[in-house]
Amino acid sequence: MKEMYLTEKFARFIAETNYESLPESVVYLAKERIMDTLGAAVAGSINWDYREQIKLACRHLGIGNCGVIGSNEKVFPAAHAAMIDATYAHAVELDDGHKNAGCHAGAVIVPTALVMGNALGRTGKEIVAAVAIGYEITYRIAAHVNPAQINKGFHPSSNCGAYGAMAAAGKLLALDAKQLANGLGQAGMLASGTMEATKSGQRSKCVQVGNAAYNGIMAAYIAQTGMEGCLSALEGPNGLFNTQSENVDVEAVCQGLGTVWSIGDTYNKMYPSCRHAQPGIEAVLDLASENNITPAQVESIWIGTHKVAYELTGTITAPQNSGEAKFSLAYGSAVALRDRRFGVVDLTPQHYRDPELLALARKVTCVIDPDVQSAFPKKRGAKVKITLKDGRVFEKELYDLKGSPGNPVGWNELEGKFRSNAAAALSEEKIGAILSFIGAFEKQNSVEPLMNLLNEAPA
């Protein structure tokens, strides 16, 4: 008997999995992921510099009847509506991710599942299953190709996310196993996105994450027609594993599929910045809060991190725009020390141009630390040393960030994060209605009421 390709193994899992297959813990986590991702998307819809431009561009690409977050218009085809919402979800760096893979599944999977589920009239249970499946496919691929994928210059969320989006969309379209395998193969041919967007054009990096949602939905619809896909897209000689990674253990990719769920490996971002910068930012925040440190007392701040974090976030001291502010470990640390926070408001010009913050950021030195580097990628952390002018020194080494699987936050704290993210866009009444709906998501017969609440322009 011919050995099955990974796309075929994944397809069988997708076809055979439904809401009743999910452990109670996975249902809870899927609802948590929906809430957290929607909060990030609402924040993106009002804070991203190019929120109007992405809608303008998509209006030229076709007419439909789907709405997008923060807009009263229902003029987009489902694939473009999901793309816009997914772009918003990644726009201010508040979306979740995998603890080791450097991949933001939620920004891609949740908008795909919600928009497609609404367009197709699916129930809450069906959408929860699609979300869990989408995370599983995304994470199993991303976890086995990284960090080599990043080191080779490919963006995990936009490449691996396309497979997960196809899985979620294909499940909601009720594709059979053969169609699903072809859809995954199509996703492999459509997937794209590079890490160069972290160096130039940071403010538009989120579009390639949104495009993963579009590509996944497109792949699912192509497969629905009966068109073949590249079944060897993952492990083939010129497939993802060999072009974007190296030495991938192909046999391990599907081990425990259907019994071991990866969604529990998700971290929550509590700060709007590149995840690699956050251990340093949080360590500075902790030291400043614990020791009542003020900017006037600081002589220097030394941050030792790993190579990926340094290359992505360790070289920008004076950000020139919101994109650079999200990728500046020095600036984020300065805000954390002075203001005892780092939030979406700190991505605005009046904050990243603040002379006092910039002066404090110039006192930050970022380096690659051998110990932190040796722990990467299994552990992603930072060492911080704050030296005061009176000679006192405060140090901290941090790996388990707040919100990580090793230091989790609960539903109530994520509700608080949602409220904070949505406060500038939605009334307290609407926020409460959205949270109540998500809390009982699996009991809903339709997600249209939720989408109508989200698809309204800010008052």
Q: What percent of the chain has pLDDT over 70?
A: 99
- The span from the CA of 207 to the CA of 190, in Å, is 15
- The span from the CA of 454 to the CA of 459, in Å, is 12
Mean pLDDT of the chain: 96
Transcribe 85-150 into DSSP letters: HHHHHHHTS---EETTT---HHHHHHHHHHHHHHHHT--HHHHHHHHHHHHHHHHHHHHHHTTHHH
Residue 20 is predicted with a pLDDT of: 97
Residue 459 is predicted with a pLDDT of: 58
Residue 2 is predicted with a pLDDT of: 74
Once rounded to an integer, what is the mean pLDDT over residues 317-321? 95
Residue 302 is predicted with a pLDDT of: 98
Encode pLDDT of 346-380 as tens digits: 999 999 999 999 999 999 999 999 999 999 988 88
Residue 102 is predicted with a pLDDT of: 86
Q: How confident is the model at residue 298 (pLDDT cuts 50, 70, 90)?
A: very high
Tell which residue, 214, 135, 217, has the closest CA to residue 175: 217
CB 441 within 8 A of CB 128: yes
What would the 3-class secondary structure string for 345-408 be? HHHCHHHHCCHHHHHHHCCEEEEECHHHHHHCCCCCCEEEEEEECCCCEEEEEECCCCCECCEC
- The span from the CA of 333 to the CA of 286, in Å, is 11
Distance, CA of 331 to chain centre:
22
- The span from the CA of 459 to the CA of 455, in Å, is 12
Six-digit token pair at 1?
Answer: 């008997």
CB 145 within 8 A of CB 160: yes
The DSSP call for residue 270 is -
The DSSP call for residue 253 is H
- The span from the CA of 446 to the CA of 124, in Å, is 6
- Lowest mean pLDDT: which of 87-96, 253-262, 398-407? 398-407
Please give the torsion angle defined by the CA atoms of residues 249, 189, 160 and 105, in that order, rounded to the nearest 10 degrees: -150
Residue of higher predicted confidence among 100 and 433: 433
For residue 130, count CB atoms less than 10 angstroms from its CB and return exposed for 0-12, middle for 13-18, buried for 19 or more.
Answer: buried
Q: Could you tell me where the beta strands, DSSP code E, fall in 235-350? A: 266-267, 298-305
Tell which residue, 145, 444, 273, 414, has the closest CA to residue 285: 273
Q: Which amino acid is at 384?
A: V
Q: How confident is the model at residue 424 (pLDDT cuts 50, 70, 90)?
A: confident
- The span from the CA of 456 to the CA of 459, in Å, is 8
pTM: 0.91
pLDDT at 282 over 70: yes
CB 244 within 8 A of CB 145: yes
Residue 330 parent element (H or E): helix 329-339
pLDDT at 3 over 90: no
- The span from the CA of 350 to the CA of 359, in Å, is 15
Give me the domains of the chain, ranges plus CATH numbers.
6-268+419-454 (1.10.4100.10), 275-398 (3.30.1330.120)
Encode pLDDT of 162-215 as tens digits: 999 999 999 999 999 999 999 999 999 999 999 999 888 889 999 999 999 999
Q: How confident is the model at residue 99 (pLDDT cuts 50, 70, 90)?
A: confident
pLDDT at 1 over 80: no
pLDDT at 100 over 90: no
CA–CA distances in Å: residue 62 to residues 77, 83, 185, 389: 7, 13, 25, 61
Residues composing the chain: 459
Alpha helices in 173-253 (DSSP H): 177-190, 206-224, 240-243, 250-253
Residue 310 is predicted with a pLDDT of: 96
Q: At residue 236, what are phi and psi to the nearest 5 degrees?
A: -65, 165
Tell which residue, 76, 156, 144, 63, has the closest CA to residue 116: 76
For residue 368, count CB atoms less than 10 angstroms from its CB and return exposed for 0-12, middle for 13-18, buried for 19 or more.
Answer: middle
- The span from the CA of 404 to the CA of 78, in Å, is 32
Residue 377 is predicted with a pLDDT of: 84
Q: At residue 28, what are phi and psi to the nearest 5 degrees?
A: -60, -45
The DSSP call for residue 196 is G
